Structure 1
């Protein structure tokens, strides 16, 4: 496998040799000869043909102009619209074009080969993400900048978010609590929904896939999506829907239990933006998902259980924005989210251990925000925010729980120097008042230095916090089939963090860029499961605060378009973690990770995407995934012996052929080409083939 890794890195270094051997240079914008088009109208000159004159070449089409979104707008890092290349906070953007070329069906599949992220299956279905060595519970998920509801076992299921509704994904790594408050210790993933950019557009896609009958059966997986929209000078609207069905998968056919849940879901969504005068905007959005998952589990007691989850997921968004001046805006935003999950465990041939559980999570949020340019050197962002969360659950010692949070925040983008070198300093602070845990203040200081147009340096230092969830405070869960009991702890304290980030971006040539970043997160009062006592029947585990833990590491990235039809990306990631109480690495984190992405947009409408990820071995201290999302997971008994999950390489391929000027296409893909998985520590889907058709007008 190490040979495969070395060959992969060497393969991706070929573009460097090609670039420098050809002696390509980047155009000098200060040169008297400019390649930019003059916008002023010039008189039409009629020239007589000159047979000796070399005809002018038309500018070549940029086949990857929509892949990186370098000239696009981002909002996550500053809570306001900024051009990506001017963003004071390092923001990674996954564009709509990139999403389509990956062939992904949901957010989890989009993020699979993203540098610095690790997507793993969730024990209760779906997938979850780790960022900078931190679990999903430390990552704040937003839709159009607003919070969502619904965490199961402290994780957000990435498969809830279907790609037909996603315009782009913005990722900010590192603490963002100074702007967003709780839960943003590890970073923010903001899903920006689709907006119509054409007078009319229609899109349809149908996909069918399957793998070995031994793992998948004969039913296969079916996906159908549709998207329509329109835009005029007053209003833009986009509406979408989809239906997905799969029989799931089984990594161990010798048992009756299954690995990946069978599921079927349907989703509807849409948004509208009214802009009558160019200054006032009114935005609305509604999104709904209905899903049913089912699987079979066997427990140590020998019992066989049919497991099912019926989920309803609703999110309603609204915003009023008024722009004045060049960059000023006042906005009013609000949302209501409800996530309902009905869990059922039905023991075969007996009713003794049957379980029915309801989880009903409701959240609402309102924000008033002002973005105001004091002068050319100071851009202020300030606002007030209100948040409420209500949870009804059969797993809580008290069935209902409710909390509110009020907050004020302020940030100043100060251009301290603008003479050749551009130096920006961005101080920010937020104060939250939680109805259960009182006041929490989270300051942050960041800076950006543009040494040249090709070399940018950023650094930041910030604080964050995460209050215990209702499940962590009031959980009471018994699993008699396996033989353990888990209790929450009403005396838990909020987790707090200190985060340092620094990064460098260097673009020596037009189509070549490098990035290097380092990070360190220190978390105090870390919440984890600790072994308690053993009675005659069950082992007991309770959530508690431990002293401290840290994650630290570095990321190196490279992007190039050395050839006309080929774009390369290479990423290297190193992550070191440690629980300072037990003096051992945090569970499930790999020290080393390598990602490569190759996109080929060839003539005649052919497109090929090759996405790869290599992950090194990971330490584990348990043989169960029931506690996915915890910091160090369940230790069975008092045995702290470490087991390492095997290193593995993931390769996904997708080939597409476009017809009728790109309005229709056929595609074929293979996920997990090398068929790598591990039943206990890496239960990802085995090799999977799919194909389909797409049409858009």
Structure 2
């Protein structure tokens, strides 16, 4: 694998400049001569003060001694905010817990990590996370986790559901990073706490909260690639946020503007591969805390987005495609704390997702399409977290959820349902002598207005064998009711020649999940992890080929399959020589459709990830992120039919069932992203440069990711 010389030279120069600066500022005859000023380090999150390493300051240190130098402490703490190792998490137990005490394995992507990767949206943040695969689709990007598609992953914002799925997929590019404080990921079934749709796990986006008396931040960037692929219109991003806090109220507001042209992997055809887009987003949150015990929390997020692309058919037709989306989410909560760890809370949200889709055939209006989709959801939760005594923490609650879909593509135009639920969980410390053993049984019962009662139990355990060796395991049940589109869809595409129909007799998909992991820290700054998992799914919903007339091929959804996903994940995190952090990950994911006895489509057997970070003196930061994905089997693209907007490979679906059953493999590929940043004025301002998809690897049909892309920008914080 080789790179073009014109690309290698500037990259080599950046490396030489970077490491030359590092060497000159830190070493003279083997001694540190220019310590980094303390102001250049990222301040610790006040809520995560436990992340500071107590060994960095010695109680008997005297002024002027090496141990008491604040510069040395600052250098040793350069990565304390990168992994949030000892911080607070909420997703695994549905309440605030220290990460190291959580019986459910929870991965945390901190604000520092998000900034250092240079990601612009949630999809780019997750792209090199171990055990997660992010793939493009016509509306943006989607996630696979533990070998399961996005429809099996529940997405939350501050612990509450969001609406709006295309092809049963939450578009990750909807979530902009300027308002994300951290991301919490729980893999495996979490239906005992969160109910439907959490078969594969939960991704919880925690929004930024004001932590200082006042702060102001602004960032702008511009990027582009080869004109052959990107044209002349580059990508522009501008974001800003401002926050205030006093003893009574804390508030944070943000806004952003993002714009980019389409990209094209095959300039020989008029069709574009990735959409052009323009979006505006704004929002904020406010927390009132008058007496230290009672809190009132509010939050609003709004996104307006316009996307455009071009489709072309083998018959010669050319179509201009557009999507206009309005995405609104309002959150609210009342919390009352009593005792040390006890809380009563009432939480609720309202979400509306509106999508206007238009397909306009050039020089004709015979096949034009106009569709309006409105999706509404509301949720209310009453919850109590009560410490019976130091070894028993009870979490119990009631939840009400409703959803409504209005679209021309449903047979009945409007669909509505509700779900009521009760859940109970006991965090029980069974043993505290020598080892610490936690056992967490939980159960939830949902009553769906369409599908009746569903009970989903789970039991998890965590054993702290030593302070450096931890073992976790869990077993749980999950379910996912069919979406409205799966139940009532009716879509004809006469231009291509197929009909897609839903099935109102579908049953909910059900799962059984087993997870186990072990984490070992042989040294202070080195952690090793190993986990295994298995998901068994019954009543799997899939498209099947029905009948074929002279005009149309007919496809319909049925509960026809059973499947499993199983695998192993191994990871290593190490910090060395004060300035460097390296993360390596590998996961093997074996999947099988037991009905057809073949692997599930689009899943790679092997995947590797690497994240290398440098926080050097002089305000220099460097990030290298990589992912290696093995070949993936493909049989058909019928799962794209539900969108009504993706035309890739649809022609192939109308030929014959035998051809669709033939396996085709997408090529292995390596994704490599690099980013460099230089801070000025005691860290209040920075310039950054980056390159995405350095190796320029993509494949039009099975890996239509964006070609090599260069960007740079400015960030200022006050």
Q: Which of 228, 235, 247 pairs up with 1:221?
A: 235
Aligned partner of residue 676 in structure 2, secondary structure: strand
Task: Return the alpha-carbon distance in structure 2 between the equivalents of residues 36 and 409 of structure 1.
Answer: 43
Partner of 1:567: 581
Cα drift, residue 466 of structure 1: 0.2
Aligned residue in 2 for 1:60: 73
The 1-side partners of 2:631 and 2:472 are apart by: 31
Structure-2 separation of matches of 1:478 and 1:623: 16
Whole-angstrom distance in 1 between the partners of 2:709 and 2:57: 48
| Residue in structure 1 matched with residue 710 of structure 2 by the alignment | 689
SS at match of 2:73: coil
Query: Does the CA-based 8 Å contact 1:136-1:156 persist in structure 2?
Result: yes
Q: What displacement does 1:387 show?
A: 0.2
What is the root-mean-square deviation in Å for CA atoms of aligned residues?
Answer: 1.9
Residue 460 of structure 1: how far off its partner (Å): 0.4
Runs of 5+ unmatched residues, structure 2: 3-53
Would you say how many aligned residue pairs link Structure 1 and Structure 2? 655
User: What aligned pairs does 1:89-238 form with structure 2 within 5 A after superposition?
Assistant: 89-123=104-138, 125-238=139-252
The residue number in structure 1 matching 2:360 is: 346
SS at match of 1:110: helix
What is the CA–CA distance in structure 2 between the aligned matches of 1:372 and 1:433, rounded to whole Å?
25
Equivalent-residue separation in structure 2 for 1:670 and 1:184 (angstroms): 35
Q: State whether structure 2 residue 434 is matched by structure 1 residue 417.
A: no
Could you tell me whether the CA contact under 8 Å between 1:137 and 1:629 is conserved in 2? Answer: no
Matched, 1:638 2:653: no
Partners of 2:57 and 2:68 within 8 A in 1:
no
Name the SS of the counterpart of 1:79 in structure 2. Answer: coil
Partner of 1:666: 687
Deviations 1:302-349 (A, max 9, x none): 211000000000000000000000100000000000000010000000
d(CA) in 2 for partners of 1:326 and 1:601?
A: 37
Corresponding residue number in structure 1 for 2:289: 275
TM-score, L = length of structure 2: 0.89
Distance apart, 1:622 and its partner CA: 2.3
| Cα distance in 2 for residues equivalent to 1:294 and 1:147 | 28
Equivalents in 2 of 1:57, 1:225: separation in Å? Answer: 37
3-state SS, counterpart of residue 471 of structure 1: helix
SS in 1 for 2:704: coil
Structure-2 change in CA distance of 1:237 and 1:607 (3 Å): same
| 1:154-200 deviation per Cα after TM superposition (whole angstroms, max 9, x unaligned) | 10000000000100000000000000000000000000000011111
User: What SS class does the counterpart of residue 373 from structure 1 fall into?
Assistant: strand
Structure 1-normalised TM-score?
A: 0.92
CA distance, structure 2, for counterparts of residue 544 and residue 359 of structure 1: 24
Residues 477-517 of structure 1 deviation map (CA, whole Å, 9 limit, x = unaligned): 11222221110000000000000000001011110001100
- Structure richer in helix, relative to its length: 2
* 259-268 or 539-548: bigger deviation: 539-548
Unaligned runs of 5+ in 1: 3-33
**Alignment counterpart, residue 513 of structure 1, candidates 527, 539, 549:** 527
Matched, 1:446 2:460: yes
Structure-2 separation of matches of 1:485 and 1:510 = 60
Going from structure 1 to structure 2, the CA distance change for 1:532 and 1:507 (only over 3 Å counts) comes to same
Preserved contact between residue 239 and residue 254 of structure 2 (Cα < 8 Å): yes
Which residue does 2:24 correspond to in 1? none
Q: Distance in 1 between matches of 2:657 and 2:56?
A: 69
Q: Deviations over 1:394-416 (max 9, x none)?
A: 11001000000000000000001
Residues 1:294 and 2:308 are matched in the alignment: yes
- What does residue 647 of structure 1 align with? 668
Match of 1:397 among 385, 406, 411: 411
In the TM superposition, what is the alpha-carbon distance from 1:60 to its structure 2 partner? 2.8
Query: Deviation digits for residues 347-379 of structure 1, max 9, x if unmatched?
Result: 000010000011100000000000000011100
Equivalent residues in 2 for 1:465-484, closer than 5 Å = 465-484=479-498
Structure 2 residue aligned with 1:13: none
| Residue 84 (structure 2) aligned to one of 61, 64, 69 | 69
Q: Distance in 1 between matches of 2:378 and 2:243?
A: 28
SS of 1:693's equivalent? strand
State how far apart, in whole Å, the 2-side matches of 1:487 and 1:625 are: 12
Of residues 327, 344, 352, the one that matches 2:341 is 327
Out of 251, 254, 266, the position equivalent to 1:240 is 254
Displacement after TM superposition at 1:219 (Å) = 1.0
Change (3 A) 1:652 1:37: closer
